[in-house]
Amino acid sequence: MSWPGVTQRRVATNGISLNIAEAGKGPLVLLLHGFPESWYSWRHQFAPLAAAGYHVVAPDMRGYGKSDKPAEIAAYCQSEVVKDIIELIPALGYDKAIVIGHDWGAPTAWACALNHPDVVRAVGGLSVPFMPRSPVQPMPMLREMFKGQFFYQLYFQEPGVAEAEFERDIRMCLKKFLVLGGGETDLASLPVKGEHDDMFSNMPEPKSLPKWLTEADLDFFAGEFSRSGLRGPLNYYRNHDLYWELTKDAPTEIHQPAMYVAGTNDGVVMMAAAGIEMMPHFVKDLRLNRMIPGIGHWTQQEAPEAVNEAILEFLKQID
């Protein structure tokens, strides 16, 4: 599958090589994907942003697609992922960049802006708001919050368990996972799970795909994970405590121009409601703060036109 005007290459950064998809010329806009996705989750953003005069670059994040996949769990700590992105900027020939992320890419983008204000001139997050470092250790807090319940981030902790379940039927698991996170799914109607359940066994197969996800899209994602596996992507979740320990002296405020966009039916938005409400206290120049009605977690895939309009509106404000 090819996308007109979008090319791919590998670029060395932070001791590894990342595969990037890129289009256009002009100021650098980096688009960072989340779990379980790839550069392809930004497929609808390349043409509009390139046409507006930007060099749009979406990497396969470490562990994904055609990018390198270090073996160690600690290699997927956000401290390393942030270095990948910060060092990618000069590797692409730039002094500064605008960094926008979705899902796991959002905390990466926020952390890039927080810790490297001299390099990141503006920042955006989709779905996941900026939240300063928690005063309490993350994993004990999550275990207490979800005691006796299934919570996907706790299920992902034991190396090899979630990998084995996903990799038994990657296409079907991705289909369930992606449709589950979409705005069409009534989360209240899903089966209740206990803390010892797996992720997909009692999750019904979707009868059809939503309009935003085609069979060809699903084939692309399944093909990428069939080659690359799930170990690297799942390792991101296994570094919550390590990253918390490493960031005890991190700043708490972002001062660059910022944007936040999310869907009203996003489960992350429901979990992070307090963080979204508090975000303007910590993101001091939040120029665009927009909720898109009716869409779920896959913001830029479910509502590409609305997301492109928001990004371009934001970019016009800072140029």
DSSP class of residue 93?
Answer: T
SS3 of the chain: helix, strand, coil, percent, to 5 = 45, 15, 40
> Which entry of 103, 217, 240, 266 is annotated as an active-site residue?
103
Terminal Cα distance for the chain, rounded = 34
- Within 10 A of 25 (CB to CB), how many other CB atoms are there? 10
Is 297 a catalytic site residue?
yes
The answer to whether the beta carbons of residues 259 and 293 sit under 8 Å apart is no
User: Which candidate, 85, 59, 36, 14, places its Cα nearest to that of 234?
Assistant: 36
* Beta carbons within 8 Å of 107's beta carbon, 6+ residues apart: 78, 101, 125, 128, 130
What's the angle, vertex CA 240, arms to CA 238 and CA 242, rounded to 5?
95
Q: Put residue 248 in one of left, alpha, beta given phi > 0 → left and psi -120 to 50 → alpha.
A: alpha
Reduce the DSSP state of residue 164 to 3 states and report it.
Answer: helix
Nearest to 124 by CA among 196, 206, 235, 31: 31
**DSSP alpha helices (H): ranges in the chain?**
46-51, 78-91, 105-115, 138-145, 152-155, 161-168, 170-181, 215-228, 231-235, 240-246, 267-271, 273-282, 299-302, 304-318
Active site residues: 103, 297
